[in-house]
Amino acid sequence: MPTLKIDGKEITVEKGTTIIRAAEQLGVEIPHYCYHPGLSIAGNCRMCLVEVEKMPKPQIACHIQCLDGMVVHTQTKSVQKLREHILEFLLVNHPLDCPVCDQAGECRLQDYYMKHGLYDSRLNENKVKKSAKAVPIGPTIMLDSERCILCSRCVRFTDEISKTGEFGIFNRGDHSEIGIYPGRELDNKYSGNVADICPVGALTDRDFRFKCRVWYLAKTESICPGCARGCNITVEANLERPHHANGERIMRLKPRFNGEVNDWWMCDAGRYGYKFIDHDRLLEPLIRNQGTVQTTGWNDIVEEVIKSLKGVLKKSKDELAVLVSPEMTNEELYLAKKLFVKELGLERVLLLRTKADGDQDDLLIRSDKHPNRKGAEWIGFEESKRAIQEVIDQGLKGGLKGLILFGQDLAALYPGRNVEDLLQRLDVSVFVGSNHNLTSEHVQFILPAATYAEKNGTFTNFQGRVQRIREAIPPAGQSKAESEILTLFADHLKLDWSYENEEQIFDSLRRSVPQFQGMNYSKIGREGVPVE
Amino acid sequence: MEKLISRFFKIPNATSLPVYLAEGGYEAAKLALRNRKPEEIEGEVKRSHLRGLGGAGFSCGVKWSFVPRDTGKPIYLVVNADEGEPGTFKDKYILTYVPHLLIEGMIIASYAVGIHKAFIYIRGEYEMPYLKLKEAVGEAYQKGFLGENIFGTKFDLDIVIHRGAGAYICGEETGLLESLEGKKGFPRLKPPFPAVVGLFGCPTVINNVETLSYLPFIVQRGSEWFAKLGTERNGGMRLFSVSGHVKRPGIYELPMGILLRSIIYEHAGGISEDRKLKAVVPGGLSAAVLTADEIDVKMDFDSLKAVGSMGGSGGVIVMDETTSMVDALRVTMQFFAHESCGQCSPCREGTGWIDRILKRIVAGKGRADDVDHLLDIGKYLGGTTICALADGAQMTFLSYLKKFRKEFEDFIRNSSLRANAGWSSGGRPLGLPAPDGRSGTVSEAISGIASAGRLKAPSSQ
């Protein structure tokens, strides 16, 4: 455990720790471009040069390991001068096109120039012309070679993380350019990450480009709902400029570091899987009556649903099924159980997926495409194919009178079965969900639900880690979070629930479900907590 | 004076094994393998003060001693035959005229360090040397000098020849290793050094052709004799490649401590057409240029370092009074800009930027602040990068500007006067001696190195 001094502050670090990491621990920021904690050390940008006493030349902080008694200086005149000149070199062939560059506002060249540069240009020469100007190199990424500073982060990412190896550096000297090997394109399951790690505007995200200036983005920490991994993300929304991007509110998702879950990365399916939030939404409560659809208010529809449910329940509890989903938060599942099982005494409150299983790999992607199956299991919902089959069979035979769906598109999940026919046979069919689908076209009651980006709550990932989602934007139209909808039902049933927010629901959840014991929202915090 | 390596250059057909054997070839290797312990040889080489003659000048024996012997991994020998330093063509002579001397040196080095697999990374442009070397390696295998049980001992050694593809940077030892591994020739971050983590992640000795070729002499005649040939801590002799404006350009094998003046005026016959000397690059293009007043310097590594230059690869480039230093520097920096691998920002952008400024100046569009500006850029070019390419570029660049500052300023002033007078701007500065019918004198000297692939009859004596 070497002890060293950085800018006069003493610190003891693990053997093998690099200077840049030790400095980070001390809160000393050493500027850098090529260094990325998730990638191998390239040491090529030279921006992190610092002075180390007894070493003849300035040393790169990203590579040099701390030794006992080392004395490091990161703020001396000469280090500052070095940074200024490294920046000058980096900008020799970099265009001054910030006003039309989509990276502006989150560009390391801009940021460091303001912090460490601020010199007057001495450049009287023409810049080297690079070959790729706004060239799509795959479905997700656009390449602008003239803006590239050749830090090689993208090359290392595709070599070391996605292990797909599309990127290379071609040519030599100041004619060097990054690019994709001939006959290939950047098309892998993690391609979007290269835009995140590109410190400049060389690699930009084709989905995000020119939709919104980054300084208009409101950023909210959340969890990707795309699979059981639960990658930590930041939801970036544009609420200030509603006329941009056809009124879409969510502009992009970005991965957020969590060493226990997703490191610095997220997959493309998750990254670009946000479109449903601003498209094809169910925006108001609807009642469908013999072919006509009528909008209504929340109180009216809840009254109507309860009236119909009571009619069914009067005859038999066996003829009403509720299908909850592993896309619901722990809080919602807890309330659903409380309402349907405890209060109404239903026996058939079953868990049913909303999506088919998909691909899985060794990096992040899980075949289970739901964010909260583990939480559902803890709360007492286990998905049983047989039980669901029985419900459908019973329905098709006319033996089912009521069905409440939480987002499942039965018609899509069971394409071979005549779900339309089933829904028609029911006395009462309720769809609680956020988006239009085949099933929602045939149910009697539509209760529009908020998406994960519009509500608070927790998901439990496949590792048993409980993580928080947060409301990034208000619910679209009149949609409400399922927890609110369920509470509304309880109100109309004159049940004495007094939940004011998700945190209170969680507090009562942790008292009744042992796995959640000892957890609370502030403990879960930004990074989540694992089950003990 | 007795010649060691270059003696063979004069012997007809020394490239063939029978002739080499008749001249006492492979006796040293036999002696080493049969009668010496590996550690004895290492000690002997250390005491001989044999320095790395590829350019770095690091003690050969000390370099060997850094190699860990107990990692369980194989140790490799890599011969750097990527002779690319402009002004240097000594290894080409060894490879072409006496390749068995290198092979013999390799056997000795491998035995000393415990190596059983060696690679020769040879410059791609060296077609003839490659063919000669390949033939020699084949002969050595046939005779049982390579392969298993060499000279009837239990020692095995295999040699693989690998041809480079033309990048200067692949002569930098870790760039070479990357290239040898099939990757782009990007120099590696150090530490770890190749002695510990080298080729394919294994401990590796990298030695220059000439360095290895002196080993047979050291084994046969002892370290004391060799060390005494040179100066303190700079053992033996070395092959100086002399080019440029001298009467007898060529390879001269001379003791380490020889004076630069003696190389130019005695051995190479003085300046061509008896003009005046203007400047000399003493150790390949990366070495700081010396003025005519600075040639009373010993040509060993330490003495040259003391005067702010370096021994480097032993490439002596002589420039006479007709040379435009502006033009010479332009050609020099064009070389470094062209050969920078492009990894580190200062080198990639700095060499290219300087190159473009110099081209503008030569085109007659210099600005009054250019020299100060160039000096300032130059300050940050070296000492900040992964490998030494930028350090070399910086050393030579700043030496031209500082030692010939007035010439640069005059050139810029004159060309701007000329431009103001409406004259077309030409490459040659006013106020300098007429080029005497010769043009691009230094470009010629340097591109002469590029054409060094064409072998002339060796003019060593």
Interface pTM (ipTM) of the complex?
0.91
Rounded to whole angstroms, the Cα distance separating A215 from A386 reads: 51
Q: Is the pLDDT of residue A98 over 50?
A: yes
CATH for B325-432 is: 1.20.1440.230
Fold (CATH) for A3-75: Ubiquitin-like (UB roll) (3.10.20)
Q: What is the mean pLDDT of chain B?
A: 92
The pLDDT of residue B417 is above 80 = no
In angstroms, the separation between the Cα of residue B182 and the nearest Cα of chain A is: 14
Contacts B341 to A, Cβ<8 Å: 172-173
Provide the pairing of β-strand B117-122 with B158-163: parallel
Q: What percent of chain A has pLDDT over 90?
A: 92
- Can you state the angle between helices B345-360 and A77-92, rounded to 10 degrees? 60
Which pLDDT band holds residue B416 (cuts at 50, 70, 90)?
A: confident
Mean pLDDT of chain A: 96
Residue B441 has pLDDT above 50, yes or no: no
Query: Are the beta carbons of A46 and B353 separated by less than 8 Å?
Result: no
Count contacts between A and B (CB, < 8 Å): 96
B451 confidence band (pLDDT: 50, 70, 90): very low
| Residue, of B434 and B320, whose pLDDT is higher | B320
What is the mean pLDDT of the segment spanning A70-98?
96
pLDDT range class, residue B458, cuts 50, 70, 90: very low
For residue B331 the two structure tokens come to: 């050609």
- State the pLDDT confidence band at A174, using cuts at 50, 70 and 90: very high
Interval B45-57: pLDDT, tens:
999 999 999 999 9
Percent of chain A whose pLDDT exceeds 70: 100
Contact A231, A222 (CB under 8 A): no
Question: So what's the architecture of B6-229 in CATH?
Answer: 3-Layer(aba) Sandwich (3.40)
How far is the C-alpha of B238 from the C-alpha of B216, rounded, in Å? 14
pLDDT of residue A417: 81
**Cα separation of A324 and A330, whole Å?**
11
Extents of the domains making up chain A: 3-75, 100-104+121-277, 286-530
Candidate from A185-199, A397-411, B72-86, B99-113 with smallest mean pLDDT: A397-411
Band (pLDDT 50/70/90 cuts) for residue A418 is confident
As a whole number, mean pLDDT of residues B280-306 equals: 97
pLDDT at position A226 is 97
* Nearest-neighbour CA in chain A from B356: distance (Å): 7
Choices 3.40.30.10, 3.40.366.10, 3.30.428.10, 3.40.50.740: CATH for A286-530:
3.40.50.740
Q: Which residues of A touch B (CB under 8 A)?
A: 41-47, 49, 57-58, 63, 82, 85-86, 89-90, 92-93, 122-126, 128, 149-150, 168-169, 171-176
Mutate to test the interface with B, among A112, A145, A172 (most CBs of B within 10 A): A172
Domains of chain B by residue range: 6-229, 325-432
Examine the pLDDT at B436 and tell me if it is beyond 90. Answer: no
Predicted local confidence at residue A289, as pLDDT: 86
Quick one: pLDDT band at residue B422, thresholds 50, 70, 90? low
pLDDT of B420: 65
Which residues make Cβ contacts (< 8 Å) with residue A147, sequence separation at least 6?
A94, A95, A97, A101, A103, A200, A201, A202
Contact call for B342 and A122, based on CB within 8 A: no
Supply the pLDDT for residue B421. Answer: 64
Cα distance between residue A415 and residue A409, in whole Å:
10
pTM of the model: 0.93
Pairwise CA distance, residues A224 & A364, whole Å: 12
Q: Is the pLDDT of residue B171 over 70?
A: yes
Nearest one of A41, A44, A145 to A86, comparing CA atoms:
A44
Residues A419-443 have pLDDT tens digits of 888 998 899 999 999 999 999 999 9
Fold classified for A100-104+121-277: Alpha-Beta Plaits (3.30.70)
> What pLDDT is recorded for position B442?
47
Chain-chain contact of A46 with B360 (C-beta, under 8 angstroms): no
Predicted local distance difference test score (pLDDT) of residue A318 = 86
